[in-house]
Amino acid sequence: MNALTRLVSALQGAGYGGRLLHNEPMAPHTSFGVGGPADLFIRAERIDELIGWLRLVHAYAVPCIVLGSGTNILVADAGIRGLVILNACQSYTIDEDGRVVAESGVSLRELARHTVAQGLEGLEWAVGIPGTVGGAVVGNAGAYGGYMADVVQETLLLDRDDQRRRVRRAELGFGYRTSALKRVVAGEQRPIVLEVMMQLRPGNAQDLAARAEQITLQRQTRTPRGACAGSMFKRTQHYPAGFLIEQAGLKGLRVGGAQISPQHANFFMNCGNASAQDIVQLIEIAQEHVWRDFQERLEPEIELVGAWPEAAVPEAIHRGG
């Protein structure tokens, strides 16, 4: 009996067999809409479930990925080996002092809209950002001058040794679109975010609502519609990535079913039948041309996860489990 089979038996014995899916396609669970099947897939709706299952996979030495809303990853065409846990832990509280405690699976934009309605300032920039609170902390999500690093006070993590620990903001190593957590390869030794504590400020609800509406309209005007992962590359030291890609003459370029958006060159779109490999080829083309023409290195914001052949992964892309 191999490790995966033992894990299945353990989950079934604990009463979770009816929720465990085999060979679940990953495309419906990612914003790119691509990716092969996961060996095993299960949805966690409570933190205790998430912790318990992570301890099981560690005990049986089965590879595991914890997935949020799938907005910042590209899953291999061959899928993901081991177990994928969909983090649907979505409880949060807000106290009278603006202290927000949110489980990591909470929708960031829904939380932002709720805090705006309550007249709390600090997350209004996030009203249009897809993704979960946990993922936003890992990538230090930000827009329109605001970042998670501005509001996060503390996180509750589950370490690889299955110990829970609270980590203050100073220890999270926040940087532009990154953190100390993101610098650890996903699916290997990266701690799992369980809960996030944020501190917001009292504000004028009407003013915040107007700001949120302005941000929403700007996003609708500038952001391409369709299957993508948001901004593909980080801004370089000197220029926005989309500007460099457009100046390199790549706007609208297609590879198979993937395209660099004709509307915004830093958005790479699945036009309906793209493979993950199509998207990776577009990433490589953009990096090569921008380096050749401008000597600027484009660093992707996304992570590659799953069973990628070594030869298929560009060196500059952060690869997960």
Residue 14: how many other CB atoms lie within 10 Å: 12
Residues found in the chain: 321
In our burial notation (b when 16+ CB lie closer than 10 A, e otherwise), range 193-202 reads bbbbbbbbee
Radius of gyration of the chain (CA): 20
User: Cβ distance 124 to 116 under 8 Å?
Assistant: yes
Domain 92-222 indexed as CATH 3.90.480.20: no
- CATH for 241-300, options being 3.40.225.10, 3.30.1300.10, 3.40.50.2000, 3.90.78.10: 3.90.78.10
Residue 240 reports pLDDT greater than 60: yes
User: 231, 235, 303, 319: which is the annotated catalytic residue?
Assistant: 231
What mean pLDDT is predicted for residues 10-36?
A: 94
Residue limits of CATH 3.90.78.10 in the chain: 241-300
Residue 279 pLDDT = 97
Tokens 């793209």, residue? 274
301 noted as active-site residue = yes
**Is the pLDDT reported for residue 255 higher than 80?**
yes
The answer to whether residue 282 scores a pLDDT higher than 70 is: yes
Element containing residue 194 per DSSP (H, E): strand 192-199
Tokens of 224: 């391409």
In this predicted structure, what is the pLDDT of residue 187? 55
Catalytic residue among 177, 190, 211, 235: 177
Q: What is the pLDDT of residues 101-127, one digit of tens each?
A: 999 999 999 999 999 999 999 999 999
d(CA 106, CA 111): 7
pLDDT at position 183 is 84
Question: Count of alpha carbons within 13 Å of 51, Cβ hemisphere only?
Answer: 16
Residue by residue, DSSP assigns 52-105 as HHHHHHHHTT--EEEESS--SEEE-TT-EEEEEEEE----EEE-TTSEEEEETT
Q: Which fold has domain 3-87?
A: 3.30.43
Instruction: Give the pLDDT score at 320.
Output: 44
Indicate the burial class of 241 (C-beta count within 10 angstroms; 0-12, 13-18, 19 or more): buried
% of the chain residues with pLDDT over 90: 78
pTM comes to 0.90
The Cα angle at residue 317 between residues 310 and 176, in degrees rounded to 5 = 160
Catalytic site residue from 24, 103, 301, 303: 301
pLDDT band at 221 (very low <50, low <70, confident <90, very high): confident
Cα–Cα distance, 313 to 303 (Å, whole number): 11
Positive or negative, the CA dihedral 282, 273, 235, 75 is: negative
Coil, strand or helix at 147: strand
Q: How many CA atoms lie within 13 A of 117 on its CB side?
A: 8
Q: Where in the chain is the domain with CATH 3.30.43.10?
A: 3-87
Q: How many CB atoms lie within 10 A of CB 274?
A: 23
Instruction: Enumerate the CATH 3.30.465.10 domain ranges in the chain, comma separated.
Output: 92-222
Name the DSSP class of 316.
T
